[in-house]
Amino acid sequence: MTEAPHLRSRAEVLAAAYPPLLASAERLAANVQLGDHGRKRAGAGEAFWQYRQLQTGDDARMIDWRRSARGEEQFIKQREWQIAQSALLWVDQASSMNFASAQGLPSKADRARLIGMATAVLLVRGGERVALGAVLPPRRGTGQLERIAGALVQDRPDDYGVPDLSPMVPNSRALIVSDFLGDIEPLKKVLTRAAGRGIRGALLQVLDPAEEEFPFRGRTIFESMSGGVRHETLRADTLRERYLSRLAERKAELADVALQTGWMVGHHHTSETAQGALLWVYQAVQGST
Amino acid sequence: MAVFGALGFAAPWLLAGLLALPVLWFLLRAVPPAPVRRKFPAVSLLLGLKDDEHQSDKTPWWLLLLRMLAVAAVIIGLAGPVLNPDSRQNGRGPLLVVLDATWASAADWRGRIARLEPMLAEAGRNGRSVAVLSLTAPAQVTFQDASAVIEGLPGLVPAPWSPRFDVVLPDGNFETWWLSDGLEYEGRGTLAEDLAARGNLTVFETGRTPVVLRTPLAEGGEVALTAERLRPGAAEEMQISALGPDPSGVERVLGTATAQFEAGATEATTNMDLPTELRARVGRFAIDGLRSAGAVTLTDDRMQRREVALIDGGRDREAIDLLSPLHYLRQALEPTADLLDGSLEDILLANPDSIILADVARLAPQEEEQLLEWIEGGGQLVRFAGPRLAASDVSRDAEDPLLPVRLRAGGRSVGGAMSWGDPKTLAPFPDSSPFVGLALPDDVDVTSQVMAQPDPTLSERVIASLADGTPLVTRKAHGAGQIVLFHVTANAEWSSLPLSGLFVQMLERLSISSRTERPDAAQLEGTTWQPAQVLDGFGRLQSGDSLPGVAGTNLFERPLGTDLRPGLYESEGRRLSRNLIEEDTILAPVVWPASVTVQPLVAPDSQPLGGVFLTLAALLLTADLLASLAVGGRLRRGVAATLAGLFILSVPVETRAQEDMPSVPDDQILAAGEVTFANILTGDATLDALSLAAMRGLSRTLFDRTSVEPSEPRSVDLERDELAFYPLLYWPITPEQQRPSDAAYAKLNEYLRGGGMVLFDTRDADTSRFGANSPEGQKLRELAAPLDIPPLEPIPEDHVLTRAFYLLQDFPGRYSSRDVWVEAAPEDAIQIEGMPFRDLNDGVTPVVVGGNDWASAWAIDDAGYSLRTVGRGYTGERQREMAFRFGVNLVMHVLTGNYKSDQVHVPALLDRLGQ
């Protein structure tokens, strides 16, 4: 299993190539969370906004003495009002993800975690609050990164993962990374609910090349990773066409669901580089403003 | 057997199984190969997909072919294929099988018979009558039905002697097969001609070359062994073993040596290291793994050196060697026996074969008793007369147990300048004598002798006498041994016997000495030898009890036969072996006349091929297994598991011997390196600190005043710490103390037994006399119950503790009670009058028990000031001083034991000596 600090460091390396990912601050006004999205007006925040003359009703301790000492008048230092957005992250950790068709290829889980973690790094660096499924509530800061990394490296025993965006912070952004090979109905439900709350985001389907090509022959028993589901065939090569059509069907279904809910769908193969996938995620989150 | 060309089959009907192969082909095709198991997460997408056709993927054709070949190889292999099967035998008429049946064919005897049996059976099937003639045990030849002859075959055994060729051949013509042993014998050619005249003669020889073991030669501590083979051949190694009884009588291999035949050589020599003690026990030498009488050599007295002890009566006499009573004995025995010198007592411990007493008259009663005991156990005592024996009263009136006869006073002298008569010569030896048959030299005469008293038993005890009938050598049996008396001296003073060769022969006959060469017939004249063990043709030893005795003259002269078998022969306590291969035996390979056809006994060109086919089948099946695994996708795992298994089996686990050594803490090394005192932890922190301070005070006092320089004291935990480093343990008793565990008690007992001392202190002497029921006293009783403590008593006035360093009368600590208890003195210790102390020299008391709270008196702080006050003012300090002195005495007692107890005797001893 990937060790948490290791995952974190690899994700940081991957994310280093990108400017901090500032999730589009759509409808920030309603989402009253402090963050790095400057509101172009004075308020609670960290960045300097303006000096303003002391007015009646201002507290004496608010006076910025350094500035006031230069002249006759007293000034108050104001900071920009900054609001953060929440990002919901869900990475499939079910055993179906622990599959790599060849030696040297990373497993799907490995790749999904890396992309998910890199996204989290970018988001946190941009000052966002990141939640990991139902496990970690949205918080900010590097401490959250460590918690996410720790939670990501755990495996789940069930065959296929069910997306879970439990915090359902309204109007937040979401990223779901999975192979979407399990039942698609729960996903539909989650996405419908999320769309109802104004959550928008991206689905990233991570697949192994073998799942895309089905290069098998001869008498074969196919088993799911935990062995719970199995299918025996006498000649695997005759199944190829029908398998590929089913896979295409599944992708189309995903695209349908996404279209209905305003989400984006991306596909990624473990044989490709993680950079490409991260770039897509970056654009998906940036571009859907 | 069915024969197809050059190939024969033992079970040809099994080949019908090959017809089943096509069926197998279809069966194998119908069964699909084992499915490949694959992990595949997208299996959810596959669910519900049906196969187009029900025909599964076929087993690859090459795998099918592999399996068919394997099955075909099994079938052919089991059918018993033979290349060039033996199909000889085309003769007609009666068949005579002549066997040499000697030891030379014993090595492969079973193979010969096993080969002969099918040949005879084949002859029987061809309707021929058969007879077998064994040349070592010739019998009337009658042609019989082959089956009857075959039944008799197991009864034929090789004999350990040469074949005879003067056999009576049956009438008529017959074919002859002669199974030869490959050795040339006189008369063999004649018989071959006779046989060839009667019909076809075929000689069968095996490829085996007979190997024999020559007579071993003993030189010093080594025995030279020579093995010889009949024909030169390839280089070969032979292991030769010396076998004999071990001290408990069980036969064992006493030594081994390896003889190396060079390529082309017929002889191989090796030396075997055999100490004399071992050599005497060797019964036979044998070439390992060779079942033949020729490969066994029995040893006898020639190989053994007897141990003879020489004792003379005149050890104080300063005479020249030639006059020494032992000189001639020494000369005669040295080459053939091991001589022992020393006092009789030492010699008896060595248990020699013989003891020779030359002119010894009397022995100390104890020596006499031991000597008699030794003779009863089989020893042979040989005594020579001399002036001392003649002058003594020994065996005068009553027969001395150590002399065979009574002696007359003085002996006699004949033929001297001052006496009448001529020197006497020897009379022929009587038949009952062990010397019978020895030639009498003319020049042996006797001038003086001791005379035997006439007795009823005298005549049967005489084994040699002079011409006038007076006994010269007498003997009597005693227990399992015997006593022999030469009535003359062992030197040339009284007779010329010791100068003659007869003397040596007589010693030999008495088995005092033993020859290294084979005795000739003349030396064996008149003796009869009973076979003890005889060899059979296979070289196995058998009891010779049921065989008749052999006359000594025949023993080495007659050729071996049924009445003279090779073996070990005994006579009069001597043992001689007649071996099959003696020094003069010559081995020569047989040369057959040109007309005789010689065939190897085993048909070499008949090669069974079943094993080859079965091996091939096994290989094919292995290949099939690997191929099936490969097709099923399991090859890598299977091979990896196999390799891993092999790897685990083959890689030794690296370990180091040093790892097992327990590490020793530095403080223990320090404690063991110097004198260190310790207090036992009680669990009461204040008391433990006080005790440690007390030990420090005691150590410092010792350092200042004595040569004992203790290192810093320690506190020990009975449960954890090793006690062995501390000579003295101080154990204050508190009522609250925990009882130590059983393991700690075991450790304590070990410590006390090993010389340690524990000072128990109940610290209650101010309130309670020792033994009263104070809480500490009760606790002490409870604590000390499991300890191995001897009976105690209050320190007696003369105890060494009172004077080990200081002279003390009482042993105060903080309190001054006289109730201090130590190990009780033994009850039989009595005070000698005039001596200040009892003689108590043993042991250090393991415990000292008291209640004077010595710790409080001894304890000092780091600066050296006392921690607790003792008494008042000057008297108090005086008491503290006394407490320290007690401590010093105690340590001295522990370290020096009762050394002081010895020293105090010195003035008393000086006083007694009157100085």
CA nearest to B388, candidates B370, B418, B423, B363: B363
* Each residue's pLDDT tens digit, B111-121: 888 888 888 88
Residues from chain A that touch B53, judged by Cβ atoms under 8 A, are 234-235, 238
Q: Does A153 touch chain B (CB under 8 A)?
A: no
pLDDT value of position B55: 56
**pLDDT over 80 at A2, yes or no:** no
Could you say which of B32, B41, B49 has the minimum Cβ distance to residue A211?
A: B41
What is the C-alpha to C-alpha distance for residues B589 and B235, in angstroms, rounded to an integer? 19
Query: Which of B32, B34, B45 is facing A246, going by the closest CB pair?
Result: B45
d(CA B593, CA B189): 7
Instruction: Please count the residues of chain A.
Output: 289
- Cβ partners under 8 Å of residue A10, min gap 6: A114, A117
Between chains, do A222 and B53 touch, taking CB under 8 Å as contact?
Answer: no
**Interatomic CA distance for residues B73 and B336, integer angstroms:** 70
The C-alpha atoms of residue B787 and residue B749 are separated, in whole angstroms, by 6
Measured between beta carbons, the chain B residues lying within 8 angstroms of A231 are 43, 46-47, 49
The pLDDT of B436-452, averaged and rounded, is 84
Lowest mean pLDDT among B422-426, B607-611, B850-854: B607-611
**CB within 8 Å of A249: residues ≥ 6 apart:** none
For residue B105, the 8-state DSSP code is G
Residue of B nearest to A219 (CA): B35
Sheet-wide strand order for A173-178: A136-139, A129-132, A86-91, A173-178, A200-207, A264-269
Residues 6+ apart with CB under 8 A from A18: A122, A278, A279, A282
Contacts of A179 in chain B (CB under 8 A): 41-42
Q: Length of chain B in residues, anyone?
A: 915
**DSSP 3-state of B395:** coil
Q: Quick check: A279 contacting B, CB < 8 Å?
A: no
8 A C-beta contact, residue B255 and residue B241? yes
CB of B283 closer than 8 Å to CB of B243 = yes
Among partner residues A179, A220, A239, which is closest to B38 by beta-carbon distance?
A220
CB contacts, 8 Å: A99 with chain B: 39-41
Beta strand B471-478 with B462-465 is: antiparallel
The amino acid sitting at B31 is: V
Distance between CA atoms of B354 and B510, rounded to whole angstroms?
Answer: 10
Q: What torsion do the CA atoms of B816, B817, B818, B824 make, to the nearest 10 degrees?
A: -120
Residue with tokens 């925040």: A45
Neighbours of B121 (CB within 10 A): 15
CB contact under 8 A, B38 and A223: yes
Q: Given an 8 Å threshold on Cβ–Cβ distance, is B57 in contact with A234? A: yes
What average pLDDT does the segment B804-814 reach? 85
Strand extents, DSSP E, B103-168: 130-134
Separation in Å, CA of B44 to nearest CA in chain A = 7
Q: Do B51 and A229 touch (CB under 8 A)?
A: no
Q: Nearest-CA distance from A220 to chain B in Å?
A: 5
What is the per-residue pLDDT for A144? 84
**Averaging pLDDT over each range in B183-197, B557-571, B694-708, which range is the top one?**
B694-708
Provide φ and ψ at B610, rounded to 5°. -55, -45
Which band of pLDDT confidence, cut at 50, 70 and 90, is reported for residue A31? very low
| Least confident interval from B345-354, B482-491, B726-735 | B345-354
- Which two three-digit tokens encode residue B293? 């009488």
Which of A211, A230, A242 has the CB atom closest to B49's CB atom? A242
A170 to chain B, minimum CA–CA distance in Å? Answer: 33
**Average pLDDT value for residue range B717-735:** 87
pLDDT score recorded for residue B647: 64
pLDDT mean over B534-539: 86
Q: Among partner residues B32, B46, B55, which is closest to A222 by beta-carbon distance? A: B46
Q: Mean pLDDT, to the nearest integer, of A76-97?
A: 81
Are B76 and B16 in contact, with CB atoms under 8 Å apart?
A: no
Q: What is the DSSP string of B236-282?
A: EEEEEEEEEE-TTS-EEEEEEEEEEEPTT-SEEEEEEE--HHHHTT-
Angle B225-B300-B356 (CA atoms, 0-180°, nearest 5)?
A: 120
* Count of beta carbons in the 10 Å neighbourhood of residue A32: 9
Cα–Cα distance measured from residue B148 to residue A62, given in angstroms and rounded to the nearest whole number: 136
Query: Closest to B51 (Cβ–Cβ): which among A210, A224, A234?
Result: A234
The answer, yes or no, to whether residue B221 has pLDDT greater than 80, is no
Distance (Å) of CA A9 to CA A13, A16, A140, A177: 6, 10, 18, 20
Which of B34, B38, B57 minimises the CB distance to A222? Answer: B38
**Best mutation target, B36, B43, B50, B52, to test chain A (most A CBs within 10 A):** B43
Q: A221 vs B35: CB contact, 8 Å cut-off?
A: yes
Beta-carbon separation of B39 and A96 below 8 A? no
Say yes or no: A179 contacts chain B, CB-CB below 8 A: yes
pLDDT tens per residue, range B551-606 = 888 888 888 888 888 888 888 777 888 888 877 778 888 888 877 777 777 654 56
* Selected residues 195-214 of chain A with any CB under 8 Å from a CB in chain B: 208, 210-211, 214
Mutate to test the interface with A, among B31, B36, B37, B44 (most CBs of A within 10 A): B44
The predicted pLDDT at position B694 comes to 92
Sequence letter at residue A48: F
| B400-419 pLDDT per residue, tens | 888 888 888 777 777 666 66
Is the pLDDT score of A21 beyond 50? Answer: no
What are the tokens at B53?
A: 């056709």
Name the residue among A200, A165, A163, A156 with its Cα closest to residue A178: A163
Euclidean distance between CA atoms B807 and B892, whole angstroms: 12
In Å, how far is A218's CA from the nearest CA of chain B? 6
pLDDT above 50 for A10 = yes
Could you tell me if A105 lies within 8 Å of chain B, comparing CB atoms?
Answer: no
What residues of chain B have any CB closer than 8 angstroms to a CB in chain A?
A: 32-47, 49, 51-57
Cα dihedral B412, B414, B416, B419 sign: positive
Closest CA to A2 of A175, A156, A149: A149
Chain A contacts of B56, Cβ < 8 Å? 219, 234-235
pLDDT at A22 > cutoff 50: no
Give the mean pLDDT of chain B. 80
**Comparing B755 with A95, which gets the higher pLDDT?**
A95
Mean pLDDT score, B886-904: 82
DSSP characters over B721-749:
S--TT-SEEEEE--TTPPPPPHHHHHHHH
d(CA B641, nearest CA chain A) in Å? 19
- A217 vs B: CB within 8 A: yes
CA-to-CA distance for B432 and B527, rounded, in angstroms? 10
| Residue B825 vs residue A209, higher pLDDT | A209
> Given this model, what pLDDT does residue B458 score?
85
Residue B700 φ then ψ, to 5°: -65, -40
For residue B50, give the DSSP letter: P
Rounded to the nearest angstrom, the minimum Cα separation between B71 and chain A is 26
B716 neighbors B688 (Cβ within 8 angstroms): no
pLDDT at B363 over 80: no
Q: DSSP 3-state assignment of A88?
A: strand
Sign of CA dihedral B509, B513, B519, B523: negative
Cβ of A235 within 8 Å of Cβ of B42? The answer is: no
Q: What is the mean pLDDT of residues B468-493?
A: 87
- Between A and B, how many CB-CB pairs are < 8 A? 100
| A217 contacts B45? CB cut-off 8 A | no
What mean pLDDT value characterizes chain A?
Answer: 79
> What mean pLDDT do residues B499-524 have?
75
Q: Tell me how far the alpha carbon of residue A78 is from its chain's centroid.
A: 34
Return the higher-pLDDT residue of B254 and B122: B254
Q: Residue A33 has what pLDDT?
A: 39
What residue has token string 């060849």? A102
Rounded CA separation A149/A9 (Å): 10
Tell me if B51 and A233 make a contact (CB, 8 A cut-off): yes
Report the alpha-carbon distance of residue B566 to residue B559 in Å, rounded.
Answer: 10
Pick from B317-321, B608-612, B712-716, B765-769: least confident: B317-321
Of B219-233, B242-256, B708-722, highest mean pLDDT: B708-722
pLDDT above 80: residue B263? yes
C-beta of residue B727 within 8 angstroms of C-beta of residue B752: no
For residue B106, give the nearest of B57, B176, B157 by alpha carbon: B157
User: If DSSP codes are grouped into helix, strand and coil, which group holds residue B665?
Assistant: coil
Q: Chain A closest CA to B39's CA: distance in Å? A: 5
Structure token pair of residue B242? 């010396």
Residue B683 has pLDDT above 80, yes or no: yes
Sign of the Cα torsion B22, B26, B29, B31 reads negative
Residues on chain B touching A253 (C-beta within 8 angstroms) = none
| pLDDT at site B695 | 92
Predicted complex: ipTM over 0.85: no
At position B487, the amino acid (one-letter code) is H
The shortest C-alpha distance from B628 to chain A (Å) reads 13
Q: Do B57 and A239 touch (CB under 8 A)?
A: no
A108 in contact with chain B, both atoms CB, cutoff 8 A: yes
Digit-coded pLDDT (tens) for A188-225: 888 888 888 888 888 999 999 888 888 887 778 888 88
Q: Are B794 and B819 in contact (CB under 8 A)?
A: yes
**Assigned token pair, B253:** 């291999």
- The verdict on A27 touching B (C-beta cutoff 8 Å) is no
Nearest to B861 by CA among B677, B682, B689, B671: B689
Cβ contact, residue pair A224, B35, below 8 Å:
no
Parallel/antiparallel/unpaired status of strands B36-39 and A220-223: parallel
Establish if A63 touches chain B: CB-CB under 8 angstroms. no
